[in-house]
A and B are shown apart, each in its own frame.
Chain A
Amino acid sequence: MSINDIQDEIIEEFSLFDDWMGKYEYLIDLGKNLPLIDERYKDEEHLIKGCQSLVWLHAEVKDGIVAFTADSDAIITKGIIALLIRVLSHQSPEAIANTDLYFIGRIGLKEHLSPTRSNGLLSMVKQMKLYGLALQAK
Chain B
Amino acid sequence: MEVSTKIERISAADVARIRQDFPLLAQKMNGKPIVFLDSAASSQKPNKVIDAVSDYYRKLHANVHRGVYQLSQDATAAFEVGREKARAFINAASSSEVIFVRGATEGINLVASSFGRKFLRQGDEVVVTAMEHHSNIVPWQLICEEKGAFLRVAPINDAGELIMSEFEKLLNDKTRIVAATYVSNALGTVNPVAEIVALAHARGIPVLVDGAQAAPHMKMDVQQLDIDFLAFSGHKMFGPTGIGVLYGKEKWLNAMPPYHGGGEMIKSVTFEKTTYAELPHKFEAGTPDISGVIGLAAAIDYIQEIGQDAIAQYENELLAYATSRLKEVEGIRFIGTARYKASVVSFIVEGTHPYDVGAILDKLGIAVRTGHHCTQPLMDRFGIPGTVRASLAFYNTHDDIDRLVEGVKKAVSMLR
Those of A33-79 within 8 Å (CB) of chain B: 51-54, 73-77
B385 touches A112 (CB 8 A): no
Those of B20-50 within 8 Å (CB) of chain A: 30
B385 touches A76 (CB 8 A): no
**Which residues of chain A are near B355, meaning CB under 8 Å?**
52-53, 74, 76-77, 119
A51 touches B415 (CB 8 A): no
Does A21 touch B at the CB level, under 8 Å? yes
A20 touches B363 (CB 8 A): yes
Taking the nearest CB of chain A, how far is it from the CB of B233, in angstroms? 20
**Which residues of chain A are near B352, meaning CB under 8 Å?**
75
**Which residues of chain B are near A14, meaning CB under 8 Å?**
none
Does B307 touch A at the CB level, under 8 Å? no
Select A24's contact among B354, B363, B370, B386, beta carbons within 8 Å. Answer: B363
Select A74's contact among B356, B363, B372, beta carbons within 8 Å. Answer: B356
**Which residues of chain B are near A119, meaning CB under 8 Å?**
355
Select B415's contact among A75, A77, A112, beta carbons within 8 Å. Answer: A75
Does B360 touch A at the CB level, under 8 Å? yes
Does B353 touch A at the CB level, under 8 Å? yes
**Which residues of chain A are near B359, meaning CB under 8 Å?**
24, 76, 112
B414 touches A73 (CB 8 A): no
A54 touches B356 (CB 8 A): no
A52 touches B363 (CB 8 A): no
Q: How many residues of A contact B (CB 8 A)?
A: 17
- Given A25-B414, A52-B370, decide whether A76 and B356 contact each other with a Cβ distance below 8 A: yes
Select A51's contact among B356, B363, B372, B414, beta carbons within 8 Å. Answer: B372
Report the separation of the CA atoms of residues A76 and B361 in the bound assembly, to the nearest whole angstrom. Answer: 13
Those of A100-128 within 8 Å (CB) of chain B: 112, 118-119
Taking the nearest CB of chain A, how far is it from the CB of B360, in angstroms? 6
Report the separation of the CA atoms of residues A54 and B386 in the bound assembly, to the nearest whole angstrom. Answer: 11
Those of B332-378 within 8 Å (CB) of chain A: 352-356, 358-360, 363, 370-372
**Count of A-B residue pairs with CB < 8 Å:** 43
- Which of chain B's residues has its CB closest to A120's CB? B355
Does A28 touch B at the CB level, under 8 Å? yes
B415 touches A28 (CB 8 A): yes
Report the separation of the CA atoms of residues A28 and B358 in the bound assembly, to the nearest whole angstrom. Answer: 14
Report the separation of the CA atoms of residues A134 and B323 in the bound assembly, to the nearest whole angstrom. Answer: 52
- Which of chain A's residues has its CB closest to B358's CB? A52
Report the separation of the CA atoms of residues A112 and B354 in the bound assembly, to the nearest whole angstrom. Answer: 14
- Given A51-B371, A52-B386, A112-B359, decide whether A74 and B353 contact each other with a Cβ distance below 8 A: yes
Taking the nearest CB of chain A, how far is it from the CB of B6, in angstroms? 39
- Given A24-B414, A73-B385, A119-B355, decide whether A52 and B371 contact each other with a Cβ distance below 8 A: yes
Report the separation of the CA atoms of residues A28 and B353 in the bound assembly, to the nearest whole angstrom. Answer: 12
Taking the nearest CB of chain A, how far is it from the CB of B41, in angstroms? 13
Report the separation of the CA atoms of residues A54 and B415 in the bound assembly, to the nearest whole angstrom. Answer: 17
Interface hub of A28, A74, A75, A77 (most chain B Cβ within 10 A): A74
A75 touches B353 (CB 8 A): yes
- Given A52-B355, A74-B356, A119-B355, decide whether A28 and B414 contact each other with a Cβ distance below 8 A: yes
Contact with A along B403-416 (1 / 0, CB 8 A): 00000000000110
**Which residues of chain B are near A54, meaning CB under 8 Å?**
385
Taking the nearest CB of chain B, how far is it from the CB of A54, in angstroms? 7
Taking the nearest CB of chain A, how far is it from the CB of B410, in angstroms? 9
Report the separation of the CA atoms of residues A84 and B385 in the bound assembly, to the nearest whole angstrom. Answer: 24
B414 touches A53 (CB 8 A): no
A24 touches B353 (CB 8 A): no
- Which of chain A's residues has its CB closest to B359's CB? A76
Taking the nearest CB of chain B, how far is it from the CB of A48, in angstroms? 14
A73 touches B353 (CB 8 A): yes
- Which of chain A's residues has its CB closest to B411's CB? A24
Report the separation of the CA atoms of residues A101 and B114 in the bound assembly, to the nearest whole angstrom. Answer: 49
- Which of chain B's residues has its CB closest to A75's CB? B356
Taking the nearest CB of chain B, how far is it from the CB of A138, in angstroms? 36
- Which of chain A's residues has its CB closest to B374's CB? A51
**Which residues of chain B are near A20, meaning CB under 8 Å?**
30, 363
**Which residues of chain B are near A76, meaning CB under 8 Å?**
355-356, 359-360
- Which of chain B's residues has its CB closest to A51's CB? B371
Report the separation of the CA atoms of residues A52 and B30 in the bound assembly, to the nearest whole angstrom. Answer: 21
Report the separation of the CA atoms of residues A133 and B355 in the bound assembly, to the nearest whole angstrom. Answer: 31
Taking the nearest CB of chain B, how far is it from the CB of A56, in angstroms? 14
- Given A74-B353, A74-B355, A77-B355, decide whether A24 and B371 contact each other with a Cβ distance below 8 A: no
Taking A73-B385, A76-B355 as known contacts, 10 extra A-B pairs with beta carbons closer than 8 A to each other, sorted by chain A number, are: A20-B30, A24-B359, A28-B414, A52-B370, A52-B371, A73-B353, A74-B353, A74-B355, A74-B356, A75-B356
The 10 nearest A-B residue pairs measured at CB: A74-B353, A74-B355, A52-B355, A53-B355, A76-B356, A52-B371, A20-B363, A51-B371, A74-B356, A75-B356
7 CB contacts below 8 A, A to B, read A21-B414, A24-B414, A52-B355, A75-B415, A76-B356, A77-B356, A112-B359
